[in-house]
Amino acid sequence: MSSRPLDRSAHLARRARLAVLLGGRPALFAAGAPSPRNYAASTFPFRAASHFLYLVGAPIPGAMLLVEGERATLFTAPNTAADALWHGAQPSFDELAAQTGCAIRALDTLPEALKRADVATLPAIDLATCAQQSTLLGRTVRPGALAPMDEPLADAMIALRLANDDSAVRSMRTAVATTTRAHAAGMRATRPGVRESDVRAAMEREIVADGGAPAYGSIVTVHGEVLHNDVHHNVCSAGDLLLADVGAESADGWASDVTRTWPVSGIFSPTQRAIYEVVLAANRAAIDAVAPGVRYRDVHLVAARTIAAGLVELGLLIGDVQSLVDDGVTALFFPHGVGHLLGMDVHDLEDLGDRAGYAEGRTRSAQFGLSYLRLDRDLTLGMAITIEPGFYVVPAIFADPALAQLAAGRVNRDVLARYADVRGIRIEDDVLVTESGAEVLTHAIPKSVADVEAVLGAR
Amino acid sequence: MSSRPLDRSAHLARRARLAVLLGGRPALFAAGAPSPRNYAASTFPFRAASHFLYLVGAPIPGAMLLVEGERATLFTAPNTAADALWHGAQPSFDELAAQTGCAIRALDTLPEALKRADVATLPAIDLATCAQQSTLLGRTVRPGALAPMDEPLADAMIALRLANDDSAVRSMRTAVATTTRAHAAGMRATRPGVRESDVRAAMEREIVADGGAPAYGSIVTVHGEVLHNDVHHNVCSAGDLLLADVGAESADGWASDVTRTWPVSGIFSPTQRAIYEVVLAANRAAIDAVAPGVRYRDVHLVAARTIAAGLVELGLLIGDVQSLVDDGVTALFFPHGVGHLLGMDVHDLEDLGDRAGYAEGRTRSAQFGLSYLRLDRDLTLGMAITIEPGFYVVPAIFADPALAQLAAGRVNRDVLARYADVRGIRIEDDVLVTESGAEVLTHAIPKSVADVEAVLGAR
């Protein structure tokens, strides 16, 4: 990461916009501390908090940024001799000032600088840093809990980060380029007899080689019906579909999030292909529905209706498309939302909960399926979102008495039994909201049956 | 991991030995919780606390193990419908009981079971779980701090884990097998023009494919003089040595820890080869010194003397070998300890601090270099350790006035200047203490100049 010069002007501009939104009110941002894995000195790779990274660009463990109107001061610990021995030469305060455009001060001078009582903050991701924020500000700061005095700061950060600037879009394109290579490598590595972990390894190799990191726990599974499957030990068999939900985070901390589903044998069976085409149609219809001003929930419903229509066509669902969607029957096979915000976090701004994902006055539905919709805002220019419809046959759903009741007379179990070689399919793209509607950032990752089979055929 | 059956009898035997050591006194072990990366639902891969994993085998997030004499009860949250939807079918309490040999109870019955006042515990690695332990036990439990009443439990776990049982050794051999493949892949992937991250990616691919994880942050660098280098963006040039300190953790949580240093071009330069042979001689001499009853500090000093003798031979150090070691001059080039305990943690048991690494009555030296020795016990049967001497030219050391003073008249700077193409070399093996002395678990990873050059020559 230190190999890439910071986009200093972008970060200066972000801090300037923030100062305007806050009317000069001071705000404190914590980079956070590395999280221990086995013991204090054995940590997970450090990932600075997204709000901090968005405004500073450099992931400096333990650092704090104080924004006061046009003045931005970065507080960090001075380098020690042990740092130099164990971690090499670190940038001096002057070098850091030149890189970031912030004034740099020693971390131990921060309490003095915070003597004003009305400094807003956002909770760090790790508890150790939250404890530090609590001490510094003399009030309780904890993850997932926003004090009323911090709400305007949260809203300002949401407003800023929803409208991705040029620098953000460039970084997302970098993440997508890596992810594109990862999916190509995953397809090439797939053949009957390999384990899911072999394919995952081939995909993550591309990400690590590019200096990035997986933006989230990679899902690479022949059991796509487990939505957040985190095991990778199964062997891929010729009749399986492999679902790979793998996205790179760029070295500067921007996420991509892509799912493809491909046949291990290289050729979709007729049943797999039939359902795949339904999901693909939903993916395309939802992307076509994306435009500034459109309510995201409606994009979800476009996908749901497309799936319902396709499944009615196959005889798998019975009834009127709109009723199947309205009554939540479609959600038996498509139980999650069509997507979410994307940015520095794979579910962008989810540290702020539904305050980020849901427009004021909108709340989550209580209905099964729709309750998992993570985003219900009107789309605006520069917003980045995922579009990821899916089809799953989840045993737990059909084992649930209430949900099984919902299926009665509307799901043709005999027809469903014919699709036994389809357990889970998802097709997910990253989409930028543009004036003309939508730009699919992930367009280069094979998606049509013909394109996927062509890549697999060339293994 | 769920693909591999638990070695239930090994875990039963460990719990039985623990009960004996504790004289029936009850003890509580926490698995710990996943650590958030960006936000609550985006976590780092879950790694259960080593003490818990050692006794239970299964990494169950949020679970607690209560050992009371011969009775072991595992407390865990019952599965929910949402678990089944998002994470797939989880083992039932009966299945878990059969797998682990523990009685299984719902987590919310734990407070009732803890009503005895004298339950010992060890602090979890994550703060959230420590807070939970504090609430459950009605006293402060925090990482790195051991209450006096918990010290006997710490000592019991140290005694158990220092004497690796057959199951532990099998797991370490599995980790080493993966690491052996990783180093071979790293050597194959190295050539002038690739980035460090390309080599790291090739190595970690083998680890991920085997269902493991890096046991620690991989160091893959042409700047081996930075001891814990965590950047990977440099391009490898023909004249560089590449230092790779990369070890796999097996799927069941056992670490390996291996460093090799190889020439990017495929052939050591004469100067690189000369220093490499000195470090290799130290590695071999230290391994030869390993035997039950030997004090580990003496193994370190064997390595230090071997390095001093080699550097005197090259004209790089001036003076008497023993004085060069005693006075800390050798530490200018070999500033760290010769190794550490190895087990479930890469620095095994380091969550308990020097209580694990240092025998009673022994403390860390204040001398530069020796102060970084992590282990000073008499070696005992079944102990696993690393042997990892090195040679580094660290700018920060020679920039330090006190250390530069130490070098005056003892380091020949003119000779040192001739070795400018050597910045950092380390050769690290994993060693098991056996009746006959030492078994080098990592023997299959090329180490001699001839073996390393042969692998590189076959690229």
Residue B195 φ/ψ, nearest 5 degrees: -90, 160
Residues 351-390 of B with CB under 8 A from A: 351
CA-to-CA separations, B81 to A230, A406, B56, B85, B105, in angstroms, rounded: 17, 16, 25, 6, 19
Residue A3 included in any domain:
no
If asked whether residues B178 and B73 sit together in one domain, one would say: no
Smallest CA-to-CA distance from B90 within A396, A398, A221 is with A396
Give the span between the Cα atoms of A199 and A234, in whole angstroms.
Answer: 11
- Which of A161, A191, A217 is the last residue in one of the domains? A161
- Chain B residues closer than 8 Å to A223 by CB: 88
Taking an 8 Å cut-off on Cβ atoms, the answer to whether B229 and A87 are in contact is: yes
Q: What percent of chain B has pLDDT over 90?
A: 92
Contacts of A341 in chain B (CB under 8 A): none
Please state, in angstroms and as integers, the Cα–Cα distance from residue B75 to each residue in B114, B150, B153, B160, following that order.
11, 20, 20, 23
Chain B interface, best mutation among A60, A157, A205, A333, by max B CB count within 10 A:
A205
User: Does residue B113 lie in a domain region?
Assistant: yes
Same domain, A318 and A219: yes
Reported ipTM: 0.96
Average pLDDT score over residue span B157-174: 98
**Per-residue pLDDT at A444:** 98
Q: Work out the pLDDT band at B366, boundaries 50, 70, 90.
A: very high
Q: How confident is the model at residue A6 (pLDDT cuts 50, 70, 90)?
A: confident
A38, A47, A131: residue with CB nearest B38: A47
Say how far apart CA A258 and CA A183 lie, in whole Å.
9
CATH of the domain at A34: 3.40.350.10
For residue B226, give the DSSP letter. Answer: S
pLDDT at A2: 39
Tell whether B284 is covered by a domain. yes
pLDDT in tens, A99-114: 999 999 999 999 999 9
Instruction: Please give the average per-residue pLDDT across A19-27, as a whole number.
Output: 96
Measure CB to CB from residue A201 to each of B144, B209, B344 and give the nearest one: B209
- For the CA atoms of A109, A110, A112, A115, what is the dihedral angle to 10 degrees? 170
Q: Which amino acid is at B459?
A: R
Contacts of A84 (CB under 8 A, 6+ apart): A90, B394, B395, B396
Asked if residue A126 and residue A191 are part of one domain, the reply reads no
- Domain-located, residue A296: yes
B193 CB near a chain A CB, below 8 Å? no
Q: What is the pLDDT of residue A10?
A: 95
Enumerate residues 32 to 61 of chain A having a beta carbon within 8 A of any beta carbon in chain B.
Answer: 35-45, 47, 49-50
User: Which of these three, B126, B159, B192, is where a domain ends?
Assistant: B159
Distance from CA of B416 to the nearest CA of A (A): 19
- Do residues B97 and B196 share a domain? no
List the CATH number of the domain containing B272. Answer: 3.90.230.10
Closest Cβ–Cβ partner in A85, A144, A201 for B397: A85
Residue A97 maps to a domain: yes
Residue of B nearest to A50 (CA): B38
Joined tokens for residue B360: 């009673």
Residue B73: pLDDT band by 50, 70, 90 thresholds?
very high
CA distances from B189 to A293, B197, B450 (A): 50, 10, 19
Condensed to tens digits (0 to 9), the pLDDT of residues A111-144 reads 999 987 789 999 999 999 999 999 999 999 999 8
B316 and B433 inside one domain: yes
Three-state secondary structure call for residue B5: coil
- Sorted by sequence, the CB contacts under 8 Å of residue A32 that are 6+ apart come out as A47, A48, A49, A52, A61, A62, A124, A125, A126, A129
Amino acid at A260: R
Q: How far apart are the C-alpha atoms of A159 and A356, rounded to whole Å?
A: 9
Would you say residue B1 lies in a domain? Answer: no
Burial B179-205 (b: 16+ CB within 10 A, else e): bbbbbbbbbebbeeebbbbbbbbbbbb
Q: Is residue B3 included in any domain, yes or no? A: no
Write out pLDDT tens, residues A34-45: 999 999 999 999
A92 and A189 fall within a common domain: no
Is A306 in the same domain as A356? yes
Does A1 have pLDDT greater than 50?
no
Average pLDDT over residues A430-458: 97
Residues B201 and B107 in one domain: no
How many angstroms separate the first and last alpha carbons of chain A?
Answer: 33
Whole-number Å distance between alpha carbons of A67 and A121:
10
User: Do A175 and A150 sit in the same domain of this protein?
Assistant: no
A residues 279-308 lying closer than 8 A (beta carbon) to B: none
Amino acid at A395: P
Residues spanned by the domain of A136: 8-161
Instruction: Give per-residue pLDDT as tens, A298-328.
Output: 999 999 999 999 999 999 999 999 999 999 9
Whether residue A2 lies inside any domain: the answer is: no
The one-letter amino acid at A119: V
Residue of B nearest to A369 (CA): B85
Q: What is the mean pLDDT of residues B150-170?
A: 98
Same-domain check for residues B41 and B141? yes
Three-state SS at A432 = strand
Structural domain total, chain B: 2
Q: Answer yes or no: do A125 and B36 touch at CB < 8 A.
A: yes
Domain boundary among B111, B130, B159: B159
* Cβ within 8 Å, pair A39-B230: no
Chain A to chain B Cβ contacts (< 8 Å)? 197
The whole-chain average pLDDT of chain A stands at: 96
Rounded to the nearest angstrom, the minimum Cα separation between B216 and chain A is 7
Q: Mean pLDDT over residues A356-385, rounded?
A: 95
A157 lies in the same domain as A233: no
> Are residues B77 and B119 both part of a single domain?
yes
